[in-house]
Every structure is written in structure tokens, then in C-alpha cells.
Amino acid sequence: MINRRRWLYGLGMAFGAAIPTGTAASAQAAGQDAAAQQDTRYNRLALTDYEPRSMLQVSHTRVEKSRFPLIDIHTHISVSTRSDRGIELAAERQYLGTPNELLQVMDRKNIRAMVNLTGGFDNGLHDAVTKYDKAFPGRFYSFAEPSYSKFKQPDYPRVQADAIAQGHRDGARGLKIRKTLGLYLRENITSGTLVKIDDPRFDPMWDACAQLHMPVAIHVSDPLAFFTPTDRFNERYEELNNHPDWSFHGHDFPSNADLLEARNRVMARHPKAQFIVLHVGNFSEDLANVSQNLDRFPNMTVDTAARVGELGRQPRTARKFFDKYQDRILFGTDATPHGDEFPQQVFNDELYEIYYRFLETDDEYFDYAPAKVPPQGRWRIYGIELPEPILRKVYYDNAARLLGINI
């Protein structure tokens, strides 16, 4: 069904994607539709077909290589071969790119190391470390993940802490927590009530990470717009329309604020564990909030992954944020080899050039993802032209310090 909205006619186009509306609203829209059809002043164009090209004549700086070698703290080279509703069930890994294929891009783009956050658990983790980290020392680092499929075991807290220690012995450099915790994991794993991020059953796991100096890369919640209705007011309408399962509006989902507070309680309770709070502290829409948390929690750092679009649309605020927290921001992209479905995180030359352009130049109004239509929302970004000492820290030093790599 296609609803056309009169308010868009002023732009010479019609809204061609389906928007859920009530019966009365539909009837009203149908009335407007009929009126508009008789009105020949307006061309018809579905929103999905709209690809405006900027006529703005401004400088375009191509940054083929980063100014300094870098560590990409946030990539996904492997995934579990079997998962259900966000829970990885099989230890066996599926690899999304071969080391040689990845190394070619890495060498072209000045990427010294990629951190594969989704290294998995048990034998799968061992396998990932063997195939990448150990085969190409200094180029790949793997993080472990919790085995939620064991969550029902009565001794799960101890089993999980022991698995972290085993992962450390196998070569894992940190622990990755996906948004699964807080949004998917339930008491009966895939059913029942949602398990809270600060559930005490995970305390031994956080403690193990602190003892073993394994940083915890934690993804909590998601963009704020994913918690609001997928309607015409939603700034990520097209993204949610393409991926309806990314909406956490309604059902029994906690609010964004509840999720972030639960995460904060974990950081407060485990001051010796280092938390890399991914995606700019998972609240890049509100850098004041992220700043407050960085001030409150000395054990917190953030990465930039998949949020260049958010940072770049608030360049002045972002620049101040990088100035102030230059020792606590890590370069990350969320790059996924062959992840063409998500242009904002597909591992290729173009993606890295966008990040470099944002960090290193003062270019204006450019695309934040290699895509015909901006995939996360219809806006463009501006560079923040960081000075060299900050670039060095963000590209390499901050991550190297957390991972225990020599600078």
C-alpha cells in the first residue's frame, strides 16, 4: 500500500514508502491522494527513488591513506555458524574474509591491525586466533564473546568466568559484548523475560576481564531513533523500513535510558575493568551525555564505529569532544568484509577514506557512507581537521595502550 503525504508535495515529490497509519488517517490520506492526482503541478516520485545530488561546489579532498598507521578497534571478521534471535549458538566460526584479502586493503589504507571483536568462544575462538592472530602477528587481534547458550546452567557465572580465562590462554585480547545483552538474551535464552545488563550473574565475567587486563568492548542499546515509532517523524525511517527488526520500539524492550543506566552501574561496580563503549558510548546523538559519563567513569573509553555519520553532522560539537577526550577515543569502523547490505560498515577502501576525510580535513557536506542514499538518515557530514597529535592518539596510541601493544 502506498500513502502519499501532502506535506511532501511542496518538495515536488511524494512519499512512496508505506507508513503505518490509523484507519481515519488512511481515509484522510486517500482523500488527499485523490486531490493531488488531479493536481498536475506535482511530479510523482517515491522516496526510495529519490537520490538528490548536491550542487554545492566545495573542496573534495581524497585521503587515500591515514596520516598515521592505525588500529581499527572494531571490525567483524568472523561470525557464528548458527544463531537464533541474536544469540550465537554454535562455537564454529564462519569467516567473512581471508587474511590475504584483508591484508591487501589494510596495506593500501595504512591499517596496521584489525581487531576482530566477534572472535566467538570455545573452539571457534581458538580457531579464529590460530587462523588470523597467530598466522599474521601484529595484524589481527581477536576478542572473545560470552557463550549465552550456557546461560541456563546453574553454575553459569563460574563457567563463563572460566571460559574468559581459557579464551585469554587461547590468545583473546578482550571481551566483546553485543547488544544481545539487554535486548535479546532472555531467562530461557530466547524466551522469557529479558536479562538485564547489570545482572549479578555476569559479575564473575567482568571480574575475570579486570584481572586478566582484557578490555570489554561493549555495545549497549542502539541509535535513539530505533526506540521511537517507525513513522514519518523518524529520522532513520528508511533504515528501519529496510531493517524492521532493528526497531526496539514497544514490546517489552527497555528504553534507551534504562539500558544506558544499567551499563553505567556495571562500570561503577567494576572500576578495575576497562570498558570500550562502542559506537561513541552508544549515544552519539548526545555527546554531552557521553562526556558526562567519561567524566564519571575513568575506566570508560569510546570508539567511533559506524557513527561517522552522527559525529560528522555535528562537527563543532564533535571537534570539542575530540579535543577534550583525545586520550579516550579509539578509531573504529564496524567494518565487515562483504557486508554490502550495510554500506556504512562494508570493509573497503571507500569506507576508510570517508573516516580519514572526516578526521583529517575540513571538507564540507560529503557522504558518510559509500551508498547512493545515505543509509542511516538523509544528511551529509563535515570534516573536523584534527591536529596531528590528536590523530596519532585516536588512530593508534589509545588502542595500543588498552591492548598492551608497544607504541
C-beta closer to Zn ion: residue 127 or 334: 334
Residue type at position 267: M
Q: Which of 127, 310, 142, 288 is nearest to 215 (CA)?
A: 142
CA distances from 72 to 102, 181, 271 (A): 12, 23, 25
Give kind and range of the element (H or E) at residue 156.
Answer: helix 156-170
Of 164-172, 225-233, 267-275, 329-337: span binding Zn ion (CB under 5 A): 329-337
φ, ψ of residue 96 in degrees (nearest 5): -90, -15
- Length reported for the chain: 407
C-beta closer to Zn ion: residue 346 or 390: 346
CA atoms within 13 A on the CB side of 366: 23
Taking CB atoms, the residue at the shortest distance from Zn ion is 334
Contact 313, 379 (CB under 8 A): yes
C-beta closer to Zn ion: residue 198 or 334: 334
Rounded to a whole number of angstroms, the minimum distance from the CB of residue 26 to Zn ion is 38
E strand spans, 180-236: 216-218
Rounded to a whole number of angstroms, the minimum distance from the CB of residue 76 to Zn ion is 6
Q: Which of 49, 40, 41 is nearest to 15 (CA)?
A: 49
C-beta closer to Zn ion: residue 334 or 353: 334
Contact 118, 76 (CB under 8 A): yes
222 counts as binding Zn ion under rule CB under 5 A: no
Residue type at position 198: D
Rounded to a whole number of angstroms, the minimum distance from the CB of residue 32 to Zn ion is 42
C-beta closer to Zn ion: residue 165 or 224: 224
Q: Tell me the per-residue interface mask from 331 to 370 with Zn ion, x by CB under 5 A, - otherwise.
A: ---x------------------------------------
Rounded to a whole number of angstroms, the minimum distance from the CB of residue 106 to Zn ion is 18
Of 56-64, 167-175, 192-200, 330-338: span binding Zn ion (CB under 5 A): 330-338
The distance of Cα 222 from the centroid of its chain, to the nearest Å, equals 8
What residue has cell string 522516496?
A: 47
Considering only CA atoms, give the Rg of the chain.
Answer: 22
Query: 144 has which bridge partners?
Result: 175
Rounded to a whole number of angstroms, the minimum distance from the CB of residue 245 to Zn ion is 16
C-beta closer to Zn ion: residue 76 or 126: 76
Rounded to a whole number of angstroms, the minimum distance from the CB of residue 336 to Zn ion is 8
Rounded to a whole number of angstroms, the minimum distance from the CB of residue 96 to Zn ion is 12
Q: Tell me the per-residue interface mask from 278 to 317 with Zn ion, x by CB under 5 A, - otherwise.
A: ----------------------------------------
Interface residues with Zn ion (CB under 5 A)? 334
